[in-house]
Amino acid sequence: MAGLLTVLLNWRSAEMTLRATEAALLALQGIEGALVIVDNDSGDGSFEVMQAEAQKRGWDKGAQSVRVLQSGRNGGFGAGNNYGIRAGMPDGSAPEFVYILNSDAFPERSAIHALLDHLKTNTATGFAGSFIYGADGEAHRTAFRFPSILSEFEAQVRFGPISRLLNRWVVAQPIPEKTRRVDWLAGASLMMRMNALDGIGVFDERFFLYFEETDLCRRAALSGWPTDYVLESRVMHIGSASTGMREWQRIPRFWLDSRLHYFVKNHGVFYTMAATFALLAGGFLWRARLLVQRKDVGDPPLYLMDITLHALGALVKALFGGRVSSHKSHPAAEG
């Protein structure tokens, strides 16, 4: 059994995951494949609720056979999705394509068909992602360039003339007006060619949350599998339903770890130090402007201090032979 494997990852949001599954099943009509819901060790009864509901609604016997699996550990966004990908199709075979959908994302009826048709037509493309908009109808910026030293400075200095000067390095791109190639896309609605994953591997599970899509798309691009933004694929995304990103009072350790791991893995320690210095320099310049301008700082409290202490701690570990980044238990794992 070939076809498309759809993976939804749940962490303590069973009701919303079931809603997302319902929307996905409508959008999957006419597509050969199967759907797997992975509970990321929620520990709140989510797994049992979703398993019972899937059977009650007959999803396990539908055209898209739905399975509800328990990962057994809260290993993060990448680890949870990897669990679903490795589960494969119900008959044990590997799919031709994999589609990951956030549990708080709701594809329109033609959204999944648009991604699949794009990958079938453009055989040199590895990944394809959707146009994402919020519950209010506002489009979200989900098409990005890979982070760099200059992008770290630009993002923090927040000064129009500098942003225009460094336009080639700005990470968050304007919302594309047509389907086109990008560096990487947010993983809320992302379809991947299995041949590409066979060559580069699945998500790096050292990322607990954030930067895992960036890293995966970069590995794919370096291996000749680029990523395309497909405007015709429209998905509504509530966003931060399980991570609580909008309510952060301090920048979480898992974000700091993921950022550090991305730069060290892809560019080395010295480049990472330079990128962190650029971020801090931009941040301090922005805060200097705030002394004369009444504007919101736009960052969680103690953001620059947390970045600095985390980077210094990682440098000490590197100098004395320890690991550059480490991951401890974290509160959420779904993205």
Nearest to 16 by CA among 27, 4, 6, 24: 24
Task: Judge whether 157 lies within some domain.
Answer: no
* Whole-angstrom distance, CA of residue 191 vs CA of residue 182: 14
Each residue's pLDDT expressed in tens, for the chain with a length of 335 residues: 579 999 999 999 999 999 999 999 999 999 999 999 999 999 999 999 999 999 999 999 999 999 999 999 999 999 999 999 999 999 999 999 999 999 999 999 999 999 999 999 999 999 999 999 999 999 999 999 999 999 999 999 999 999 999 999 999 999 999 999 999 999 999 999 999 999 999 999 999 999 999 999 999 999 999 999 999 999 999 975 444 455 678 999 999 999 999 999 999 999 999 999 999 999 999 999 999 998 889 999 999 999 999 999 998 887 786 555 444 444 445 54
Helices (H) and strands (E) in the chain, counts: 11, 11
Reported as a single tens digit per residue, the pLDDT across 174-216 is: 999 999 999 999 999 999 999 999 999 999 999 999 999 999 9
The verdict on residue 270 lying in a domain is no
Is 277 part of a structural domain of the chain? no
Record the tokens describing residue 210, joined without a space.
Answer: 């954030």
Whether 190 maps to a domain, the answer reads yes
For the purposes of burial, counting CB atoms within 10 Å of the CB of 209, is it exposed (0-12), middle (13-18) or buried (19 or more)? buried
In a domain, 289, yes or no: no
Q: Say if 93 falls within a structural domain.
A: yes
Reported pTM: 0.93
Give the 3-state secondary structure of residue 84.
Answer: helix
Query: What is the tally of structural domains in the chain?
Result: 1
Q: Kindly state the tokens that stand for 188.
A: 């809320």
Q: Please say whether the dihedral angle defined by the alpha carbons of residues 70, 331, 317 and 275, taken in this order, is positive or negative.
A: positive
Q: Where are the beta strands (DSSP E) in 72-159?
A: 97-102, 105-107, 127-133, 143-144
Would you say residue 54 lies in a domain?
Answer: yes
At residue 178, the 3 state secondary structure works out as: coil
Residues paired with residue 234 on neighbouring β-strands, in sequence order: 131
Its domain, for residue 210, covers 4-151+170-244
* CATH, residue 110: 3.90.550.10
Q: Is residue 158, in this structure, part of any structural domain at all?
A: no
